[in-house]
Amino acid sequence: MVQPLRYLKESPSQTAGPYVHIGTNPNWVEITGVWKSDLGLVLVGPDTRGERVILEGCITDGSGAPVRDALVEIWQADAAGLHNSPQERRGRADPAFAGWARQPVDDRDGSFRFETIRPGPVPYPDGRMQAPHVSVWIVARGINIGLHTRLYFGDEAEANATDPLLNRIPEPERRATLVAPRSERDGLPVFRFDVRLQGENETVFLDI
């Protein structure tokens, strides 16, 4: 008889369901006055350091239809590549930048839009630098376990070309699904990140 390894099992995931907003964005579904405000609505304030950027996109299912009841969370480093987290060991992040946000997608067209800053580079475990990226987590009715992916910036071609994660994608043509093309609107860079859950141009999702 060997000695037992006394690890617990992680609690199994379950779908967030169609009414996830009751618990995450109650004010948005007119349950007002319980929370002061829904968490994660605003990322950038006047004191936040870094270049302002807009991230926007739409989530579609395997038939191309928008997923109108999804919830999207993003998590990213500050302009210097530091995370606003006690687990960050490399220095102190910009106190005027939380680094985390979430929002329900638009319940008519499945779109989302975050106003944030361009993150600085973050190292990979072997010491190489990763290209600037934003971690994205998506839950919805019909999604049994939250889907992790990453947004990379379309105007960072040089950094993207050597990014350890992008280079780990076995099919090179799928790397483009994580790279958001840049355009400009009202003087601000806009990065378009459409997420396709299934089928043609399916977004690369991560087991991290």
Partner 1 sequence: MSGSYFQRDRDWHPPGYTPTYKTSVLRSPRHALLSLPTTTSEETGPVFGHDVLGPLDNDLIRNWSQNGGEAIGQRIVVYGRVLDEEARPVRGALVEFWQANAGGRYRHRKESYLAALDPNFGGCGRAITDEDGRYSFRTIKPGAYPWPNRVNDWRPAHIHFSIFGHAFAQRLITQMYFEGDPMIWQCPIVRTIPDRAGIEQLVAALDRNATLPMDSLAYKFDIVLRGRRSTMFENRMEGN
Residues 44-103 that bind partner 1 (CB under 8 A): 61-63, 65, 67, 69, 73, 75-77, 83-90, 98-100
> What contacts 172, CB < 8 A, 6 or more positions away?
none
* Residue with the two structure tokens 């806009």: 190
For partner 1, give the closer residue by CB, 89 or 185.
Answer: 89
Q: Shortest CA distance to 83 belongs to which of 130, 21, 36?
A: 130
- Would you count residue 118 as binding partner 1 (CB under 8 A)? no
One of 26, 66, 154, 189 touching partner 1 (CB under 8 A): 26
Q: Take residue 115 and report the two structure tokens written for it.
A: 């106003």
- Specify the 3-state DSSP secondary structure of 174: helix
Beta bridge partners of 101: 74
Contact stretch for partner 1 (CB under 8 A) within 108-116, 130-138, 152-160, 183-191: 130-138
- Beta-carbon-side half-sphere exposure of residue 91 (alpha carbons within 13 Å): 9
Phi then psi for residue 98, to 5 deg, are -70, -35
Contact stretch for partner 1 (CB under 8 A) within 49-57, 131-139, 155-163, 183-191: 131-139
Of 136-175, binders to partner 1 (CB under 8 A) are 137, 139-148, 150, 164-165, 168-169, 174
Element (H, E) at 164: none
Beta bridge partners of 116: 53
Q: Shortest CA distance to 184 belongs to which of 207, 154, 142?
A: 154
For partner 1, give the closer residue by CB, 1 or 208.
Answer: 208
Nearest approach in angstroms of CB 200 to partner 1 is 10
Nearest approach in angstroms of CB 34 to partner 1 is 5
Please report the beta strands in 5-119, taking only residues with DSSP state E, as ranges in sequence order.
Answer: 52-60, 71-75, 100-104, 111-117
Of 177-196, binders to partner 1 (CB under 8 A) are none
Q: Take residue 200 and report the two structure tokens written for it.
A: 């043609």
For partner 1, give the closer residue by CB, 45 or 127.
Answer: 127
Nearest approach in angstroms of CB 92 to partner 1 is 13
One of 1, 3, 10, 158 touching partner 1 (CB under 8 A): 10
Contact stretch for partner 1 (CB under 8 A) within 4-12, 50-58, 109-117, 179-187: 4-12
> What contacts 182, CB < 8 A, 6 or more positions away?
153, 154, 155, 189, 190, 191
Number of residues that bind partner 1 (CB under 8 A): 86
One of 92, 95, 107, 183 touching partner 1 (CB under 8 A): 107
